[in-house]
Every structure is written in C-alpha cells, then in structure tokens.
Amino acid sequence: MWACNSEPTSTEASETPSVARAAKAYTLLDLGMLPGGTESQATDIAPSGKVVGSTTDGRSGNPHAFLWDDGVMTDLGTLGGSFSRATSISPSGQVVGATATEEQLGARAFLWSKGVMTDLGTLGGIAAEAQAINSKGQVVGFSFTAASELHAFLWEKGVMTDLGTLGGDRSLAFAINSSGQVVGSSETADGATHAFLWNKGIMTDLGTLGGIGSEARGINSKGQVVGFLTTASGGLRAFLWERGIVSDLGTLGGSGAGARDINGAGQVVGFAQTGEGQIHGFIWTDGAMTDLGTLGGDRSDAYAINAGGEIVGESRGAGGEFHATLWTRR
C-alpha cells in the first residue's frame, strides 16, 4: 500500500465482536471483520450509521474495503487486484477509497455505488487514492502526475482536476464539505508542509499555525477546519481553525494530540496522549476533551464523527489486537 492515513499502527485482531465501556459517557462496539480476518479499522460513518473501513481478508490476508450496516459487514471487493481500503462514505451511501487493479501497478482511487466499483483514474501517473466524498458526489484525494509528483485532486462527474500545490512538488487533499471547500496539506516552495484550504479554484495557505508544519484533516459545513501541527520539538498538537483564528484543543494529559474530523455541531474527534503515555481516541466539544477509552488495550484512534455524534475508528483489545470500533453515547 502506497499511502496510509493512520499514525497508530495495527497489529493482530480477534474475530469475535465485543462490547466495552469508554470512560464516562460512551459505549464501544467492536464491529468485527470479514470471516478469517485478523484486523480491522473503521474510517468513516454516514448520517444513517453505515460505516466503512478496511479489514483483512481471511483468504489472502490482504485488506479489503468493507461496508458495515446494522451488524452486517459486506466486502466491497477490489478492481481485480489484491487489496482495497474504504476511506469515506456519502450520505447517500457512495463509498470511496483505494484499490489495486489486476495489473497491480499501484493503488487506484475508486467510487463504489450500488455494488459497482469504478476506477476514477489519475492525474497522469500510475496511482491515486480517494480520501473523501461529500453529499454532491464530489471526491477528493491525491494522485501521481505524469511528472511523478503527488498532487491533491478534485473529481466531479468523471473529471479529475489537479488542485496544485503551495509552491512545492506535493499536496494531499483529505476532506471536502458540502460547499466544495477542500482541506489538506501541501509542500511550500521552501519544502515546508502547510495546511491549506481550497475554495473555488484558489488554494489558501493556512500557515504552520504556530508550529513548524501543519496538516488539515477535516472541514465541516461551516468552514471550520481541524488537523494537527508539528511543534518545534517535533510533537503534534490538535488544532481548530475558524476564520483565521487558531485554537489548540489540548491533550488528555500527555504531550501530543491530533484532530481528524469535525461535524456540523463543532464536535471534533482524533487521538491524544494520556498522562500515562498511551494514545487514546478523543471527542472535543464545548472546550472539553473527553477520553473515548479502548476495547481493553492501550491504544485507540477516532477517525470520523457524524451529525448524530456517532464516532468510528479503531481500538486495541486486551490481547494487543486492533478492531474497527463504533462509539455511541450511552
């Protein structure tokens, strides 16, 4: 796999779904995995509660994209190759991600709709990956160009558009809201990595937001942006950007954190270090960060939150394994 959207790394996972309690207000549900699978990860959740992600396949051991709906996990398959990963689901149930083709030359961005998986093409290079889809069916991600540079793209109605960069050779798009505003990260002319906001053909540099580098990962319908910045000491901090004002969302008692998604109510999810040095998923709302807990292990990570406040991500079990996880309010 040529790209990854997870800082915490997965190891082995068990096949048996389980339920555990998060600290205080949340219940954790293990979404399981495909038959014979050994690990899973959930990456997005629709307003309806449908969940997408990836799970190892019991036959090959490679990751396959899945759609989970009311307790049933469906394998979305591939475009003929050995693996696939789902990264985002729209309100209407369209799914995007990355998959290998029969030629196995590199990952290709896909759109899955009503059982049919379609290759979205590239910007002239051999590989591409879709990261997000909005309610209008607009897709963003990143693709290699003919010059072998990695650029952010916007795909709409069969046309893939290069969003350019902030002066460097590389840019990545991670999220798009219902208005078509796109966020991600880009290299600048001097080689630094800066968060960007792209709107109607213009890519705006959000700067380093007080650090030495920054990356935007989520944007809601109000244009609020979240992500992480790199500090001078090399650590990460979770941020919320709104109309030029940047807020540090804090930690769970440790030294670092990163924000991944924000819903229309301004609730933010991501990962943070605890006072014991563990990495736990969090939800931030009304100025307070809450530890989402784990399935018994020492790590979890929250990737997405829907309008109803349901959260998905991954959590390590007591045996050291990672499972796709759904957090819901008690």
What percent of the chain is modeled with pLDDT above 70? Answer: 92
Contact 288, 266 (CB under 8 A): no
Token pair, residue 163, equals 């969003």
pLDDT at 117: 98
How many CB atoms lie under 10 A from the CB of residue 329?
A: 12
Q: What is the pTM of this model?
A: 0.92
How far is residue 184's CA from residue 173's CA, in Å, rounded to a whole number?
Answer: 4
What is the maximal distance between C-alpha atoms in the chain? 51
How many CB atoms lie under 10 A from the CB of residue 48?
A: 15
pLDDT 10s digits, 181-207: 999 999 999 999 999 999 999 999 999
- Residue of 173, 178, 170 lying closest to 161 (CA atoms): 173
CA geometry: angle 87, 92, 98, nearest 5 deg: 25
pLDDT at 319: 84
Return the minimum-mean-pLDDT range out of 14-18, 86-90, 193-197. Answer: 14-18
Residue with tokens 């998959």: 99
Residue 94 pLDDT > 60, yes or no? yes
More confident of the two residues 253 and 2: 253
What percent of the chain is modeled with pLDDT above 90? Answer: 86
pLDDT at 282: 98
Q: What average pLDDT does the segment 3-20 reach?
A: 35
Return the minimum-mean-pLDDT range out of 1-15, 46-60, 118-132, 138-152. Answer: 1-15
Amino acid at 123: L
DSSP assignment of 191-258: S-EEEEEEETTEEEEEE-TTSSEEEEEEE-TT--EEEEEE-TTS-EEEEEEETTEEEE---BEEEEEE
Q: What average pLDDT does the segment 150-164 reach?
A: 98
pLDDT 10s digits, 255-297: 999 999 999 999 999 999 999 999 999 999 999 999 999 999 9
How far is residue 240's CA from residue 226's CA, in Å, rounded to a whole number?
Answer: 5
Q: What average pLDDT does the segment 313-324 reach?
A: 93
pLDDT at 59: 74
pLDDT band at 23 (very low <50, low <70, confident <90, very high): low
pLDDT at 198: 98
Residue 2 pLDDT > 70, yes or no? no
pLDDT band at 4 (very low <50, low <70, confident <90, very high): very low
pLDDT at 320: 86
What does the mean pLDDT of the chain come to? 92
More confident of the two residues 138 and 103: 138
More confident of the two residues 156 and 25: 156
pLDDT band at 76 (very low <50, low <70, confident <90, very high): very high
Q: What average pLDDT does the segment 29-34 reach?
A: 94
Residue 7 pLDDT > 80, yes or no? no
- Residue of 324, 226, 209 lying closest to 267 (CA atoms): 226
Residue 9 pLDDT > 50, yes or no? no
pLDDT band at 42 (very low <50, low <70, confident <90, very high): very high
Residue 6 pLDDT > 90, yes or no? no
pLDDT band at 318 (very low <50, low <70, confident <90, very high): confident
CA 174 to chain centre: 7
